[in-house]
Chain A
Amino acid sequence: MPQETTVGPVARTQAAAVQSRKRVLAQELPTNPFVDVAMTLFLEDIAEKQGVEGLLAYMMSQGAALAESMPPEDYATWDDFVQAVNEGRSIFSALEGTEHFAGYCFVTPVKPFHEAIATYISLMGEMLKAHQDATDYYNGTVQNAAVESLDIIHQSFRRELVNRISVAGQPVRYAELGTKGYNGDVKLAPEGWLEVILEKAQLSLTQLQMAIRQNTSVIVIYPPEREVAREAEAAVLAPKVLGAEAGAGPEEAVTPPRAAAPEEKPDSNSGE
């Protein structure tokens, strides 16, 4: 007899309320993809003026700044936090409909900017190469977790956002487990660290595959008492070497280049 797989503790009786609230949010707060496309062109303009390093810096600072604009949250218990995420009441699910999947694993069914990408493509055709260049640069220098350029904003946003969410007074932690691009490409956590993060998430590999099939983002949000050894966690953030050029080692702090003013070219040798 096949083993029963569990996919999360969301009570069926709550599902209707959750969907109702999310429908209300979607109806009352629709996006206008025209504006999203304009923002994408804004970023391409920055790439043209400041190069891929400048674009990366701006995208990371934009994600972080958006997160810093969101009000902080504190939940009494982990279950309260999970329920708030599921019902769209938490800042973690306000923009992207994030839901609890299983264990400490959460998923985003559709990334918040995929409609923008669809509109961009229908209006203008293929996205410029600058997007792929920025994605490769991010994966090589910051964190090997992006499958498309707007993931840079998305992940930078989440990285900062968890600093604003506390459960019983303790800020939660976050790790990327998997992401699926608009074109269907899937990127999971780097080999060697996948096991570490799956253990943190209390998830099996089969469940991860189930999650990434049905969704576009799979992340781990966990309380600090689930920390693993410091060396292993630092190594999770280290970039995987994609080509001959090596990225930062696990013992080095990986910080993005500072965004320069448009008149300046960023100095590739400077850093923090």
Chain B
Amino acid sequence: MLDIAMFSLAADMAQKTGVGGVVDYWVRVGATYAQRIGTENFVGWPQFNIATNERRTSLTVEGPVRVLTDMAITDRDGGEIVGYVYALTEDPMVAVYNRWMGIMGQAIPPIDQQILDHYNENVRPTAVSSFDPCIQTFREQSASVLTVGGSQLDCLHIAARSRMGVRRLYEPSLKILNLEERYIVSLLRDHMTVYALVETGKFDLTGYVKANALRSS
């Protein structure tokens, strides 16, 4: 019930604070969510990936996350594995959309599109649903308090696909990780979100805008 009530709440808040204010709130909720779940430490990438497959990490609370083991990320020398690419088969917002349409019998309220448009125009062009400001912030903040083999992690959002098929690939991530666009698009056939977890400091993240880098409120 709470999930589909979000549209009513968002529309009400947008009237009082503007759409930017709603985005601010959602970003803050994403950060709070990650902070409240807390820190995690893993001995190494194999242990972390097993825990991910078994849904025992903070990053799997949103749903099952698939470890793309053929997409291990190595450091510049090509020797050491410093990260992996991960993908979700379903975005948490899909259930909300389905329930709204099935229970209310109506199209998704316009506030959903207004929120994601505002985020894409004012923060970074990665949102495909109004919940993305929250969930993308959550992933990045959760990753930042995870350690694998003693190293902190950065979460780099790569791509997302909406329920209606809109695809958004984040160019800075493709460049930083040297990923082929064709391959990411092919991943989006079976997945709705693709992101990478890499050890902090191994890549120059110039050009990558964080999910909570709000430039307007």
Contact = CB atoms under 8 A, between A and B. Distances in A.
B12 A259 contact: yes
Given A29-B103, A261-B17, A65 B2 contact: no
A237 B104 CA distance: 29
Contacts of A154: 1
A28 B94 CA distance: 12
B29 A45 contact: yes
Given A41-B29, A42-B25, A262-B21, A32 B11 contact: no
A38 B29 contact: yes
A150 B25 CA distance: 20
Which of A29, A63, A150, A157 has the most C-beta atoms of chain B within 10 angstroms of its own C-beta?
A: A29
A35 B5 contact: no
B63 to A, nearest CB: 7
Interface string B89-106: 000110110110011111
B92 A32 contact: yes
Interface in B1-49: 1-9, 11-12, 16-17, 21, 25-26, 28-30, 32-33, 36-37
Contacts of A35: 2-3, 6, 92-93, 95-96, 131
A74 interface: no
Which of B5, B98, B134 has the most C-beta atoms of chain A within 10 angstroms of its own C-beta?
A: B5
Contacts of A28: 98, 102
A25 B102 contact: yes
A35 B33 CA distance: 11
B179 interface: no
B62 interface: yes
Given A32-B63, A32-B95, A95 B28 contact: no
B5 A63 contact: yes
B61 interface: yes
Given A41-B36, A42-B25, A34 B92 contact: yes
B2 A116 contact: yes
Interface residues of B, number: 41
Nearest to B36: A124
Interface in A106-160: 112-113, 116, 123-124, 150, 153-154, 157
Contacts of B12: 58, 61-62, 65, 259
A153 B12 CA distance: 15
A69 B8 contact: yes
A65 B9 contact: yes
Interface residues of A, number: 44
Given A32-B63, A40-B2, A69 B7 contact: yes
A30 to B, nearest CB: 6
B106 A112 contact: no
Nearest to B30: A38
Contact of B37 (A31, A36, A95, A123): A123
A96 B4 CA distance: 13
Given A29-B99, A45-B25, A37 B33 contact: yes
A162 to B, nearest CB: 16
A39 interface: yes
Given A28-B102, A38-B134, A42-B9, A66 B4 contact: yes
A71 interface: yes
20 contacts: A32-B3, A32-B63, A35-B93, A35-B131, A38-B33, A38-B134, A39-B5, A39-B9, A41-B36, A42-B25, A44-B32, A69-B7, A69-B106, A70-B104, A95-B1, A112-B2, A123-B36, A153-B1, A261-B16, A262-B16
Interface of B: 1-9, 11-12, 16-17, 21, 25-26, 28-30, 32-33, 36-37, 61-63, 92-93, 95-96, 98-99, 102-106, 109, 131, 134-135
Interface of A: 25, 28-32, 34-42, 44-45, 58, 61-63, 65-66, 68-71, 94-96, 112-113, 116, 123-124, 150, 153-154, 157, 259-263
